Structures are given as C-alpha cells and as structure tokens.
Amino acid sequence: MAKNKALIAGATGVVGRNLLRHLLATGDWEITALSRRKPDVDGGYEHIAVDLLDAVQCEVKLGHLTDITHVFFAAVTTSPDAALLVSQNVTLLRNLVETIEPLNRQLKHIHFMQGTKWYGSHLGPFKTPAREDDPRHLPPNFYYDQWDYMVERQKGKSWTYSSARPHAVSGFAIGNPSNLTMVLAIYATICKALGVPLCHPGTAGNYSALYQCTDSGLLARAMVWMATTPQCANEAFNITNGDLIRWEHTWPRIARYFNMEAGPRRRISIANAMADKGPVWDRIVQKYGLRPIGFQDIVRWPYGDFVFTPEYDIVSHLGKLRRFGFHETVDTEEMFFRLWDEMRAHKIIPPAD
C-alpha cells in the first residue's frame, strides 16, 4: 500500500516542527515541509522554501507536487494592523489550497490550525469552558475568515477538512512568537544569572486564574487523528492537555526546577524588562557552551506579557474531542519539566546546577 503523503505548511513553528518530528517517527508518511528556512529536524523529507503570501511563487515552487494526500496548515503571520492580519492569514491559506488542490486528485484531507482566540480569549473574559459551537465574537478574527473560506471551498469536493483549537502550545522551535515554554525557560535562566528570585510577572488575577496548555507532541498526534478519522470530517475540536493549572500553585514548582527561589509576584512587562538582556544571554551561551542562538531569535517576549496579563479563566471544553474518540492527556507541570529537560539535553538552556 502506498504511503500517505503529508504537506506541512509552517514547518519551523512549534506546531509544524513537532508535527514533522512525529510523522517522521511513525515511518508511515512521505513528507514535504514548507517554510522559508529549513527546519532543524533530521530525517528523510523534502523541504521547499516558499513564501505562501506570493501566489506566483507558490505555483512555481509547488507545481510539481501531485501526490499529496493530506495537507497540514500551521503557517501564520502577524501584524499590528487588524485588517492586514486578516487578509494576510487568509491569503496564506488560500494560496496553498488553490495551488495544491487542483493538482492532487487523491487529496483526502486539509487540516488547519486555529486556537482559543476563536472564542475571544484575547479580548477579555469569555464564556468558559468554551465549546466549539459557541457564538462568534464581533470580528475581526482571521480564524473566522479562514473557516468560512474552507467551508465554501470544500463544497462538492471529495476531500474533507478539520481544525484544531489548542491553547498555549508548548515545545521547542526557534523564533516562534507564541511559545510559553521558551518564555519561561529563558526568563528563569536570565533571572538566575542575575541572582534575582523568580517572580511571577503578571497581574494578581492572572496568578490565581485557571489556565490551560497544549503539549506540542500531544497536538501533533491529535492533528493526525483528526486528519485520518472519517468521523472528524469537517469538524473543529478544542485540544489541550486535559488538565488545568493556576500559576500560584505551579510557579513554586517551576522555581524549584531551576533551583531558584520563588520571589513575590510583581507586575512587570517582560518585554520591557528583557529588552536590554541580550548581553546577559550571550554570556550564558558562552559560559555553558550552548547552541549559538541569538537572543532575538530564541524567544518573543511580548507573548509573555500576553499570557501573564489576563485576570480571567482560560478553559476549553474537551467533551467533543472525547466523544469523537481522542482520549490522550498530558500533565502540564510534568510537560514543562520534560520539555526543559529536552532543551538542556540539546544545549538550548544551561544544565542543572
């Protein structure tokens, strides 16, 4: 039997990179990875450097792909301009789909990534636990535009689609703008190097509110399940680790992992506090012989401010996911420690001392 062939768009991000690792580990897939730079993942796969915002470039560089069975779309672009954010992210998806779909008669499924922002989690308090059929909030929200595009595009077609809605995806990927694991690890490493306690940098309400995370490996397995399970056709699913944390309980354990004192909660902007810490990081890299990843590439500090500011619960309902048959869970605190152990082993952060 011929293998399925996956096309991963956004293969250097925390979602795409870990999906690539998962598919390689199974040995059941042929893989083409799309990204502007080659993923730092070893294995047998084709990489194509392409700008998905450029329709002509997509046609030229992807025109030879005629045996794709599954598309996994994890590409995203950011912009402070709301209208541009919507138009560019819809363009990314449209250019890929409208290039690949006509060329691949055996196309079975297109999976595209969304998130808890579907429910307005970035705008203020929202109904929790959030369910997939909750009413939309007032636009703009490019998730809505992407979903509506896929619904219309799929009408009358033999292929199907699905979408995952995770929150706080955690893993390792260089330069990923939304990676809580990296924010915590580099923040703790720099605080330790400066001899200061590890203080939760958020608001008082944030410290006690319920929060959820999604392990990138768990997400990868769920994405493949959604893309290959017939009853998941044309459905969206919340996906998280399945547990909840409060920073007030988890923060002391994080401090202990890094052999640090947990200081008092202090409301600061991590982006501002870390703006001049590049030289500190450079000294850490040199002292411990870490991989020479620049301070500007290893983490995006504004995401930390985004995580530690809200003073309301962030909770997704997982009932639909379970009813359809996906039952895996991950302990969030153990996930943090496991991912940081992996980062230590790969010389991303210093060893324990």
The residues carrying an active-site annotation are 117, 143
Greatest pairwise CA separation for the chain in angstroms:
62
Q: What are phi and psi of 96, to 5 degrees?
A: -70, -50
Radius of gyration of the chain (CA): 20
Closest CA to 141 of 165, 122, 162: 122
Pair of tokens at residue 116: 């808890």
Q: The tokens 């293998």 sit on which residue?
A: 3
Closest CA to 267 of 188, 205, 312, 202: 202
Q: The tokens 């980062």 sit on which residue?
A: 343
Closest CA to 37 of 46, 48, 45, 26: 48
Sign of the four-CA dihedral 94, 95, 96, 100: positive
DSSP state letter for 344? H
Sign of the four-CA dihedral 288, 291, 294, 296: negative
* Residue 35, strand partner residues: none
Q: How many Cβ atoms sit within 10 Å of the Cβ of residue 277?
A: 18
Integer Cα distance of 18 and 234 in angstroms: 23
Specify the DSSP element, H or E, that contains 26. Answer: helix 14-26
* Contacts for 146 with CB less than 8 Å, ≥ 6 apart: 89, 90, 93, 112, 114
Task: Assess contact for 100 and 62: CB atoms under 8 A.
Answer: yes
Q: What are phi and psi of 263, to 5 degrees?
A: -80, 180
Integer Cα distance of 146 and 141 in angstroms: 9
